Amino acid sequence: MIVLPLQKGSNAERSKHRNRQAILGQLRTAGAMGRAEIARALSLTTQTVSNIIAELSQDGLLLEMGRVSAGRGLPAIQYALNPEGGYALGIEVRPDAIFAALLDMHGKAVATERIAVTQAQPDVVMTHVKALYARALDQVPNARHRTLGAGIVMPGPFGETGITGMGSDLPGWQEVDAETLFEEAIGLPVVLSNDANAAAMAERINGVAQDITSYAYLYFGAGLGLGLVHGGHLVRGAYGNAGEIGHIPVPGQSGNLEDALSRLSVQRHLQLAGKDAHNVDTLDQFFQQNDPDLMAWLTSASAALGHAMAIVENMFDPQTVILGGAMPDAILDHLVAHAPLPDLSVSNRPNAPHPRLMRGASGRMTATLGAAALILNRALSSPISHAH
């Protein structure tokens, strides 16, 4: 997965493809618009936009919303993304279960499926994934020939690294080319990603980051993950393993960030007190009951979160940091409210337009939805970074 310095040339066809994407992306972020308005936003002529809009309409990707008058002149015909114009499949592979979700172009989940598994070897997973996709399509007949691709979420890190074999990765997957395997199994273009990255994109497509282009997402999976988005695109690192924040040592304590701040951490902590909290709902109940052991954990977790904020903010200078993943919303809210935000941070600026830390909005299936969001994001934005 090494990044090559390749810089492809451009031609008329590629330009057109880019402009199609740009128009779709513009309609997604800014809502319904007229053609002239789109043209101004993208520095194109109205004629060009008109031509492309005609094609997109033909392809069923747009909805005409009628004319809306705004001041003088001919009122513009408003166009909006047709949610049923395309779909994206999201697959999340965990050691004990496989999740699938089908998202429409608005990022709404129109079908969700899950299946419990006892084994997660590649061949077993492929069989299940095929079945889940078929079941999702049965619910949404429209989607059969309109699915743009599949995003797959699997526990990282990918490839052999210094944190391989620490329990979070799946057995039997080290040697295989997962991307090709999935591509052949479901017959769609595939994007592979870890849970934190996917969750980060879920917020961008259908959560609190819809108008935020540079942010970090702290994700409660088994451990603690981080998804980095810069200029609307994921920062994956040279080998796709950027954001392994859980393994960074914590000041003042022995151990790593995820020893204090993760699902495993809270489970372990409560287990020492003889309490079982393997379930998110159980955890929520403990919190509602003000369970003293949970509260003790929250105190140390808040401190660790404060430290994570110092690292993330000073390293990436994001617009905001979003907290989410496999935790009850109430606990996430508590952490957001109680984490000590570091004073010594570039993000500690007056009149910041966004809160420094906020809770994600995508709920429990975040990673699965995020997997699909990776596909939507690719369909709706070209890999061009912001102009300076």
Q: Is 18 in the site for its own copies (CB under 8 A)?
A: yes
- DSSP per-residue letters across 296-320: HHHHHHHHHHHHHHHHHHHHH--SE
């905001």: which residue's tokens? 320
Looking at residues 244 to 283 of the shown chain, list those that interact with its own copies (rule: CB under 8 A). 244-245, 247-253, 256
Q: Which does 238 bind (CB under 5 to 8 A by kind): DNA, its own copies, none?
A: its own copies
> What residues between 340 and 369 interact with its own copies by CB under 8 A?
342-350, 353
228-247 residues in contact with its own copies (CB under 8 A) are 228, 230-233, 235-245, 247
User: 209, exposed or middle or buried, with CB in 10 Å at 0-12, 13-18, 19+?
Assistant: buried
Residues in 26-65 at the binding interface with DNA, rule: CB under 7 A: 34-37, 43-48, 50-52
> Which listed residue (6, 7, 10, 251) binds DNA by CB under 7 A?
10
Characterize the bridge pairing of strands 190-193 and 215-220: unpaired
In the region spanning residues 70 to 129, those forming contacts with its own copies, defined by CB under 8 A, are none
What does the alpha-carbon distance between residue 53 and residue 25 come to, in Å, rounded to a whole number? 13
Task: Output b/e per residue, 115-139; b: 16+ Cβ within 10 A.
Answer: eebeebebeebeebbeebbeebbee
Site stretch for its own copies (CB under 8 A), options 4-12, 67-75, 91-99, 132-140 = 4-12
Binding track over 32-51 against its own copies, x by CB under 8 A: ---------xxxx---x---
**Near its own copies by CB under 8 A: residue from 34, 85, 155, 157:** 157
Give me 100's structure tokens: 């699938």
Between 33 and 100, name the residue whose CB sits nearer to DNA. Answer: 33
**Interface segment toward DNA; rule CB under 7 A; list 73-81, 255-263, 328-336, 353-361:** 73-81
By the rule CB under 8 A, 292 interacts with its own copies: no
First-to-last alpha carbon distance for the chain, in angstroms, is: 28
Rounded distance between C-alpha atoms, residue 242 and residue 235, angstroms: 7
Residue 6 within binding range of DNA, rule CB under 7 A: no
CB 189 within 8 A of CB 367: no
β partners of residue 158:
none
- What is the binding site for DNA (CB under 7 A)? 9-13, 15-16, 19, 34-37, 43-48, 50-52, 67, 69, 71-77
